[in-house]
Amino acid sequence: MKAYIIRKYNKRDKLESVEMPEPIMKEDDVLVEVHAAGVNLLDSKIKNGDFKLILPYKLPLILGHDVAGIVLKVGSRVKKFKVGDEVYARPADYRIGTFADRIAMNENDVAIKPKNISMEEAASIPLVGLTAYQALIEKAKLKKGQKVLIQAGSGGVGSFAIQLAKHLGATVATTTSAPNFELVKSLGADIVIDYKKEDFEIILKDYDLVLHSQDAKTLQKSLRILKPGGKLISISGPPDSDFAKEINSSWFIKSILSLLSLRVSKKAKQLKVTFQFLFMRAEGKQLSEITELINSGQIRPVVDKVFPYEKVNDAMEYVESGRAKGKVVVKVK
């Protein structure tokens, strides 16, 4: 089958189009014909080697973390799906590889595709949708009437998280540039801050939650807008000791991650707030709940551009540029 791979961790090299062996299926796997694949900054970071300490993949590696397609085959123990089902998923770590004609995934990581959207729109959802779900619902337990700052509201995670937070009944503030104001307002943002001209730390105070996706300087400012007891959940680092436990790291890696997060953890403690790092995981059950929200019209996908399969590298470059509004998708079939 055709697939796009990396042979080594490298910032300069592009993905290579090659013929790869068919996916090896397990008893509880579904084999999916890939119709569309989402492109994420995570793909670029893995290609660059940014995660090789905590995600030591074997090379060559097929990249790609989002998929929408049709079930071609099911394992002998699969109960949730049948051949012909339209599905979508974020494959589990160490089983990624959606920049390919086909992919095998554990059935527990897969969900039925929303009925009212295209394959390309469906492929835009899993990684960002699960990130927002796990941050706002699972970790933060965001409640009606609470206040949340969602950074980079026009981005992939931000555009989904704004809608989910509004569905939960929160007051939503977000940062973006002026050309994106109408987009984030249409998604439900109550307070929109132009990060190029305004300082959100001056405008916002006593917030219950920050979903952080930016740099270390913005992280420090974000901690200061929280009220005592508030939470900051970061998807851009630094990884903390709890994350090291989640991925069963060696003592050496645990020590490194604890040191990386020491400064922010101390600052959070001084301010009587909580800092948590989130590296989202595959979860079909949560994705099924997201399907219901999309089918009911509570949340809509935001897709900036759809690239043809042969232009995977162009799609990667566009994502790396930081200009995308919502998600970037590759149409495979």
Q: What is the mean pLDDT of residues 45-64?
A: 94
Q: What is the mean pLDDT of residues 116-133?
A: 98
CATH 3.90.180.10 in the chain is located at 2-125+301-331
pLDDT, tens digit, 9 for 90 and up, residues 144-186: 999 999 999 999 999 999 999 999 999 999 999 999 999 999 9
Task: Indicate whether 244 pLDDT > 80.
Answer: no
CATH 3.40.50.720 in the chain is located at 127-277
Average pLDDT, the chain: 96
Residue 245: pLDDT band by 50, 70, 90 thresholds?
confident
Residue 259: pLDDT band by 50, 70, 90 thresholds?
confident
Task: Indicate whether 99 pLDDT > 90.
Answer: yes
Q: Are the CB atoms for 218 and 193 separated by under 8 Å?
A: no
Question: What CATH number was assigned to the domain covering residues 2-125+301-331?
Answer: 3.90.180.10
**Closest to 240 measured CA to CA, from 213, 259, 268, 224:** 259
**Closest to 34 measured CA to CA, from 120, 163, 153:** 120
Angle between helices 156-167 and 126-133 (to 10 degrees): 50
Residue 254: pLDDT band by 50, 70, 90 thresholds?
confident
Could you tell me the CATH superfamily of domain 127-277?
NAD(P)-binding Rossmann-like Domain (3.40.50.720)
Measured distance CA(148)–CA(3) in Å, rounded: 40
Measured distance CA(199)–CA(216) in Å, rounded: 15
Measured distance CA(37)–CA(69) in Å, rounded: 9
Show the 3-state SS of 213-271: CCCHHHHHHHHHCEEEEEEEEECCCCCCHHHHHHCCCCHHHHHHHHHHCHHHHHHHHHC
Percent pLDDT > 90 in the chain is 90
Q: Tokens at residue 51, please?
A: 């995660």
Cis peptide before 60 (omega within 30 of 0): yes
Residue 128: pLDDT band by 50, 70, 90 thresholds?
very high
Give the per-residue pLDDT at 268: 97
Give the per-residue pLDDT at 266: 95
Q: What is the mean pLDDT of residues 210-238?
A: 97
Task: Indicate whether 64 pLDDT > 80.
Answer: yes
Residue 328: pLDDT band by 50, 70, 90 thresholds?
very high
Residue scoring higher pLDDT (240 or 128): 128
Residue 60: pLDDT band by 50, 70, 90 thresholds?
very high
